[in-house]
Amino acid sequence: MDLLFTLLATVVALGLLVTIHEYGHFWVARRCGVKVLRFSIGFGSALCRWHDKRGTEYVIAAIPLGGYVKMLDEREGEVADEELDQAFNRKDVKQRIAIVAAGPVANFLLAIVAFWIVAVVGVTTLAPVLGPVVDDSAAARAGLQSGLEITHVNGRATRSWHEVNLQLVRRLGETGELEISARPDSSSDSRTYILQLDDWLRGADQPDPIAELGLSPWQPAVAPVVGQLSEDGAAEQAGLQVGDRIVAINGESVSDWVSEVVPAIQASANQPLVMAVEREGRRLSLQLRPDGREVNGELQGFIGAGVAAFEWPEHMVRSISYNPLIAVPVAVRQTWDMTVLTLDSIRKMFTGLVSAKNLSGPITIAKVAGDSAKSGLETFLSFIAYLSISLGVLNLLPVPVLDGGHLVYYFAEWIRGKPVPERIQIWGFQIGLTLILGIMAFAIFNDISRLGG
């Protein structure tokens, strides 16, 4: 059932993104007088097809990993004399630029709409209040302490841990000062703390900026009661059941899930544990061996068990929403910020500041799509916005085969007054196709590696 839900969420997300992208090309092409022969969502065999009164064929194909708009073009076949004025290649260079750019622009507009809906509907989040600060960490040396609420990172307001993390991600691989403003819970005055970065998390495979600084979110005391179990996990195989209260691990009493149970399990990868639990008034002793997985170069244990639901103090929970008018600039600003962050991440990836292992392919996209859909409409819409921005940015990269590559040729034609020689375009296409296929293969390899981990 989970697999079916994940597949459905993936098809909806990718289908929406591809449809909007291709519709951008389609809409502008029609306005420029270009005849559209086919509008296809997906590749491969057609699941269904129909035609409109202008002769355009609409296709929904079996493989939902892309799409295309096929236009009348003399370079792809003979064109009747009476239709030459409707051929793409006969349009002036400004119109061709508009048609090609319309796809990525449509993706940015989709992101704005998605962020606008989220801003109007509102989100419920947790205040970024600090829990324990690791001794001798960058945060501790700067003077940050448990109980402080982070209000700004590098001058940008932060009302949630998500916003804190986004601002920290911007500094990955960098050297210099990081400014964090924080205030005590009972105060309205913030103080600025300076943290020193030196090639911070450069090349890290799965960076965790918050933990790397020595910070952790504040959490209420969490009773060590099992709330969920993974099928065939170490916990289930050992006989642990939902509702069990863990009272001791290897003879040491435990009373908190986060600060005692989790660290004990993580430190015992592939090592035997004796876990004492209370079940229906009886005390039982269970033996289990946590599985191991590598996290940021360290082997950590896990048993496939999750904690039971618990309540957060009311003052720690925030609802953030805007009226429809104010939500417009909020959505535009979010789209702009994520576009800049995406471009900067690509730059850092090419220069080695950010590990290329963070590049994700369709498997990771599918997993995130399913997880975000389970988390609610706001999370799923935010995921669609992020993915739409990534699609828009990647399509604008100056790589032949992509929209950005075509734009490079057309701008060169505009400047030169004549088209780029066909042989150069063919060479560029071959190089660009090889590059894109290589990147896709590497992204899929990363996906499979994550699954293996």
> Tell me: the pLDDT tens digits for 178-233?
999 999 976 778 899 999 999 898 877 778 899 999 999 998 888 899 999 988 88
Confidence of residue 367 (pLDDT cuts 50, 70, 90): low
Residue 254 in contact with residue 339, Cβ under 8 Å?
no
- Quick one: pLDDT at residue 66? 85
Question: Which tens digit of pLDDT belongs to each residue from 2-27?
Answer: 667 777 878 888 889 999 999 999 99
Confidence of residue 150 (pLDDT cuts 50, 70, 90): very high
CB atoms within 10 A of CB 50: 9
In whole angstroms, what is the distance from residue 74 CA to residue 94 CA? 18
In whole angstroms, what is the distance from residue 401 CA to residue 436 CA? 8
At the topology level of CATH, where does 123-218+311-320 sit? Pdz3 Domain (2.30.42)
Compare 177 and 312 and report the one with higher pLDDT: 177
In whole angstroms, what is the distance from residue 390 CA to residue 370 CA? 18
Lowest mean pLDDT of 9-18, 115-124, 438-447, name the range.
Answer: 438-447
CATH 2.30.42.10 is right for the domain spanning 226-310: yes
In this structure, the dihedral spanned by the alpha carbons of residues 233, 238, 239 and 242, taken in order and rounded to 10 degrees, is -40
For the chain, residues classed under CATH 2.30.42.10 are 123-218+311-320, 226-310
**Which residues fall within 8 angstroms of residue 284, CB to CB, at 6 or more apart?**
239, 276, 277, 278
Among candidate residues 22, 163, 212, 260, the one labeled active-site is 22
Compare 360 and 62 and report the one with higher pLDDT: 62
Residue 288 in contact with residue 275, Cβ under 8 Å?
yes
| 428: three-class secondary structure by DSSP | helix
In whole angstroms, what is the distance from residue 383 CA to residue 126 CA? 19
Question: Which tens digit of pLDDT belongs to each residue from 369-400?
Answer: 676 766 788 888 999 999 999 999 999 999 98
- Quick one: pLDDT at residue 142? 93
Question: Which tens digit of pLDDT belongs to each residue from 24-49?
Answer: 999 999 999 999 999 999 888 889 99
DSSP, res 314? G
> Would residue 22 show up in a list of annotated catalytic residues for this protein?
yes
Long-range contacts of the stretch 432-435 (C-beta < 8 A, 24+): 432/399, 432/400, 432/401, 432/402, 432/405, 433/400, 433/401, 435/399
Burial class for 136, CB neighbours closer than 10 Å (0-12, 13-18, 19+): exposed
